[in-house]
Structure 1
Amino acid sequence: MSSVVLLVAVLFFLLLLRARRRRRECEPPLIQGWIPYIGMGLDFRLDSQAFLKKNQEKYGDVFTVYIAGKYMTFIMNPLLYPSIMKHGRQLDFHEFTDQMAPVAFGYPAVGSGRFPDMGDQIQRSFRLLQGDNLVPLAESMMANLNLVLRQDFLGGEGGATEAVGKGWSTGGLYDFCSSVMFEATFLTLYGMPAPARRHGDMAALRRHFTKFDGMFPLLVGRVPIWLLGRTKAVRETLIRYFLPQRMQRWANTSLFIARRSAVLEQYDALSDTDKAAHHFAMLWASVGNTVPATFWALYYLISQQEALQAVRQELHRVLQLPEAQGPQQSEVMISKEQLDQLFLMDSAVNESLRLSSASMNIRAAQEDFSLRLDERRAVAVRKGDVIALYPQTMHMDPEIFTDPQTYVYDRFIEDGREKTDFFKDGQKLKYYRMPFGSGSSMCPGRFFAVNEIKQFLCLLLLYLDLEMEEGQGTAQLDNSRAGLGILLPAKDLRFRYRIR
């Protein structure tokens, strides 16, 4: 009996191998691997940057890789990126998100036909995170950052840190950033449980969120949720937090979330749980990458005290504060206009994003067509295939960025303004820094996210002296989220602080 089962398994495996795709004329080089469905997924997950660079050296700037059931054509030369953006009709970003988000967050697909115009309305709602709408969001975020920092860390309660004498407290840097940014962002977007100013169960919500977030790469990789232990139960707990009857009791909800709630209420086909799942998805979008981005921005500044002092001096100059002391008022408020004047801080944040981001810009082919790369080259693309840009390879290109592994806080500033001149093969790049995607797939909340990070840094630099603890090495990237945005640190590191 066992020999029959083994024979059937072998025959099935051979059939899968025979069914593998064959490269057609004018198509890019094809790399499939030998593991059915997974293809080269394990190699890519282990070290995506090294995997792609190795294949670029072997096959050139364009090649197709089979990963987790998808044929993905990688465009490795950033000089070719503008050509990809021009194919808006044949290449669509929303198809991928409409497939991925329901699997990860547990709500019905927006593009299923059951919810006419919902996708367009949701996209329009993102305008409330941009332009003049950033002013009230910045004011609210500043107030909430002050609230959380002062009550949990500056008022003697300790929060995620512990006292170590001589005025110093110590704790995990990632845990500290997560504790502050998670709650302040939540309060800014979703509001507070009136008449209280803070949600009493925020620590538990963050713990559940962290558990879900750890499984998120597997969900996106189409691993069934029932194979992931308690992940489904954790997700259900998180979703219940956003049930409409609960959210209705919250005060000072942002216009952005209020608008999204109004859109969801238009569709009777959505259950209350479906609506809550949409709000949970937006929470992940709001903090899933912002928290690790905040960690890296702060980590690099603390690790390079020269950078920290330079950014602090700029901040004091913009706020017209004496450089040798902290703020005299009990609560600092920094306007959106003042944030926009912090060019050196912008450069420091952008440099940390360059070093930590591993997003993958993807678009699904809507038809068979010839993808024009430049005046000389075109490749054949099949309907359903994915065109992928992987900007991390560009961010680490020594031809574009001198000594790319090194943090250079003023890399993106020149003559007091943002530097935009970066070159490849002697040609100026249109796209040279892409932590937030590109074109139609660019993160619509990127301006809000960068403002949040800068506000957090401003308050810490004004209120605190900051140091990394000695003898623990440097922070390393965890590549398990490769392709999904900002990489987490492989482990948390200890830091210490004291009030200035």
Structure 2
Amino acid sequence: MELISPAVIIILGCVALLLFLQRKNLRGPPCIRGWLPWIGAGFEFGKAPLEFIEKARIKYGPVFTVFVMGTRMTFVTEEEGINVFLKSKEINFELAVQKPIYRTASIPKNTFLTLHEKLYIMMKGKIGTFNLYQLTGQLTEELHEQLENLGTHGTMELNNLVRHLLYPVTMNILFKKGLFPTDERKIREFYQHFQAYDEGFEYGCQMPECLLRNWSKSKKWLLALFEKTIPDMKTYRSAKDNSMTLIQAMLDIVETERKEEMSPNYGLLLLWASLSNAVPVAFWTLGFVLSHPTVHETILEGISSVFGTAGRDKMEVSEDDLKKLPLIKWCILEAIRLRAPGIITRKVMKPVKILNYTIPSGDLLMLSPFWLHRNPEYFPEPELFKPERWKKANLEKHAFLDWFMAFGSGKYQCPGRWFALLQIQICIILILYKYDCSLLDPLPKQADRRDCKCSVP
């Protein structure tokens, strides 16, 4: 019997050790797979995503993977993972959002990748900080017009009040004056379909359309609306300055790239992006302000000092006026911090190392602003509504507080963030100037924003 030499044993041992260490170094994070093939943890995750994320973080640590609808989503919740998310060159934004955009707006991958950066640059210029305050007068005028339809007193669900104001204002400015319907039946029909589309958007991002019959019906209704109205949008010109609307600038780029058949789809995408977040942010801001008497009183005093006490007048709002009322913007940002529900995502192109884990290529790297904004290391007393914390942010230079991620991060932050903040500021000023408001119900929890009534005597 031939014996193996000690040298061979040492070499084999070294190889085995190397393979063991390599396998250890390539160890992925804990994975929550659920018990159904392909669907994985989809049902449990879909019921309450924020609670699911927090329970998983407590059980598995700061990095964990969730298998949902055939996709691996790896969540990062602490600083090292967040730094990789923000700075790594091995992760990609466009490829992470391409499939959800295809499912929710039927925009094919090649079309999206061809047009995305061009459209982003255009929007960043059109409604970015440089041109933003040119829209102040138009926003004020449109909001006054909608407020006149409310009357002088009464009660209303706060969410419906905000929708009543911001839906028509946003559509009339970004798309075309008069696009939002005025007939009561057509208004209800629009609300019904947009609400169904908006509330089912997260499921629509992940699941085949054939499994979401009602959501698909509303999506097709909205696409048909744009197919019918886009010819009028192209020829529309403002009676005041003959300027192009945002949708016209968007359609110019789409048609330049010979993608005219995608015009309704991009119209739908812009509609959802402009309406889906502004309304809940305005709702929560007003709710927090009205439920904090000291903040409410301070804002009212500021509004009176700038505009006087004639609460029924059709006053104008200027850029200088807004600078004199910083507390309102602080309240908006604090409401966003406390109620930002979304998840920011990137696609891992090459394996990345986070803590002792290796995240494989193909994973979606996920960051939850909701839980990041509740880290007491970054935001002391995180559960409290403290708008004064925003005094430290350099908002004059368009910089938020560190670790505030509600608008995304890096190259592709939300291009409409400054327009959204501006219209919500003006909306709140005009409501509180015109009406003596009070809440009739307690402020609801995060999951429900539709049961809070507001009195406007």
Structure 2 length as normaliser, TM-score?
0.84
Verify: 1:496 aligned to 2:455, yes or no: yes
Verify: 1:225 aligned to 2:209, yes or no: yes
**SS in structure 2 at match of 1:411:** helix
**SS in structure 2 at match of 1:410:** helix
**SS in structure 2 at match of 1:131:** coil
Q: 1:378 to 1:442 in 2, by over 3 A?
A: farther
CA positional deviation for 1:134 = 0.5
Q: Give the whole-Å Cα distance in 2 for the aligned partners of 1:198 and 1:31.
A: 46
Asked if the contact 2:344–2:367 (Cα under 8 Å) also holds between the matched residues in 1, the reply is: yes
Q: Give the whole-Å Cα distance in 2 for the aligned partners of 1:50 and 1:174.
A: 24
Asked if the contact 1:351–1:412 (Cα under 8 Å) also holds between the matched residues in 2, the reply is: yes
Q: Give the whole-Å Cα distance in 1 for the aligned partners of 2:449 and 2:202.
A: 15
Q: Give the whole-Å Cα distance in 2 for the aligned partners of 1:235 and 1:53.
A: 32
- Aligned residue pairs total 424
Q: 1:250 to 1:202 in 2, by over 3 A?
A: farther
* Aligned mate of 2:408, from 409, 430, 437: 437
**SS in structure 2 at match of 1:413:** helix
Q: What is the CA deviation profile of residues 323-369 of structure 1, one whole-angstrom value per residue up to 9, with x for unaligned ones?
A: xx2347x31211123323422112211111111112211100123x2
Q: 1:294 to 1:78 in 2, by over 3 A?
A: farther
Asked if the contact 1:137–1:254 (Cα under 8 Å) also holds between the matched residues in 2, the reply is: no
Aligned to 1:314: 302
* Aligned mate of 1:147, from 131, 145, 148: 145
Task: Identify unmatched segments of 5+ residues in structure 1.
Answer: 1-21, 157-167, 421-428, 479-488
Q: 1:83 to 1:338 in 2, by over 3 A?
A: farther
The percent identity for this pair of structures is 22
Verify: 1:288 aligned to 2:286, yes or no: no
Task: Identify unmatched segments of 5+ residues in structure 2.
Answer: 1-22
* Aligned mate of 1:265, from 255, 259, 265: 255
Q: Give the whole-Å Cα distance in 2 for the aligned partners of 1:29 and 1:297.
A: 37
Aligned to 2:370: 392
Q: Give the whole-Å Cα distance in 2 for the aligned partners of 1:96 and 1:218.
A: 16
**SS in structure 2 at match of 1:71:** strand
Q: Give the whole-Å Cα distance in 2 for the aligned partners of 1:360 and 1:174.
A: 23
* Aligned mate of 2:170, from 177, 185, 189: 185
Aligned to 1:58: 59
Aligned to 2:352: 370
Q: Give the whole-Å Cα distance in 1 for the aligned partners of 2:141 and 2:34.
A: 52
CA positional deviation for 1:181 = 0.5
* Aligned mate of 1:124, from 111, 118, 121: 121
The residue type equivalent to 1:289 in the other structure is N
CA positional deviation for 1:237 = 2.1
The 5 Å alignment of 1:440-451 reads: 440-451=411-422
The residue type equivalent to 2:101 in the other structure is A
Q: 1:263 to 1:56 in 2, by over 3 A?
A: same
Structure 1 length as normaliser, TM-score?
0.77
Asked if the contact 2:97–2:345 (Cα under 8 Å) also holds between the matched residues in 1, the reply is: no
Asked if the contact 2:159–2:449 (Cα under 8 Å) also holds between the matched residues in 1, the reply is: no
Q: 1:44 to 1:229 in 2, by over 3 A?
A: closer
Verify: 1:204 aligned to 2:189, yes or no: yes
Verify: 1:38 aligned to 2:39, yes or no: yes
Q: Give the whole-Å Cα distance in 2 for the aligned partners of 1:312 and 1:27.
A: 54
Asked if the contact 1:192–1:199 (Cα under 8 Å) also holds between the matched residues in 2, the reply is: no
Q: 1:430 to 1:292 in 2, by over 3 A?
A: closer
CA positional deviation for 1:417 = 7.3
**SS in structure 2 at match of 1:495:** strand
The residue type equivalent to 2:390 in the other structure is F
Aligned to 2:5: none
Q: What is the CA deviation profile of residues 425-457 of structure 1, one whole-angstrom value per residue up to 9, with x for unaligned ones?
A: xxxx97332211111342111111111111100
Aligned to 1:17: none
Q: 1:291 to 1:116 in 2, by over 3 A?
A: closer
Q: 1:268 to 1:79 in 2, by over 3 A?
A: closer
Which piece of structure 1 moves more, 448-457 or 206-215? 206-215
Asked if the contact 1:33–1:66 (Cα under 8 Å) also holds between the matched residues in 2, the reply is: yes
The residue type equivalent to 1:64 in the other structure is T
Asked if the contact 1:193–1:251 (Cα under 8 Å) also holds between the matched residues in 2, the reply is: no
**SS in structure 2 at match of 1:122:** helix
Aligned to 1:170: 155
Aligned to 1:234: 218
The residue type equivalent to 1:235 in the other structure is K
Q: 1:298 to 1:232 in 2, by over 3 A?
A: same
Give the structure with the larger helix fraction.
2
Which piece of structure 1 moves more, 441-450 or 378-387? 378-387
CA positional deviation for 1:267 = 3.9
The residue type equivalent to 2:142 in the other structure is N
Q: Give the whole-Å Cα distance in 2 for the aligned partners of 1:410 and 1:430.
A: 12
* Aligned mate of 1:326, from 285, 310, 313: 310
Q: Give the whole-Å Cα distance in 1 for the aligned partners of 2:205 and 2:24.
A: 27
CA positional deviation for 1:31 = 2.5
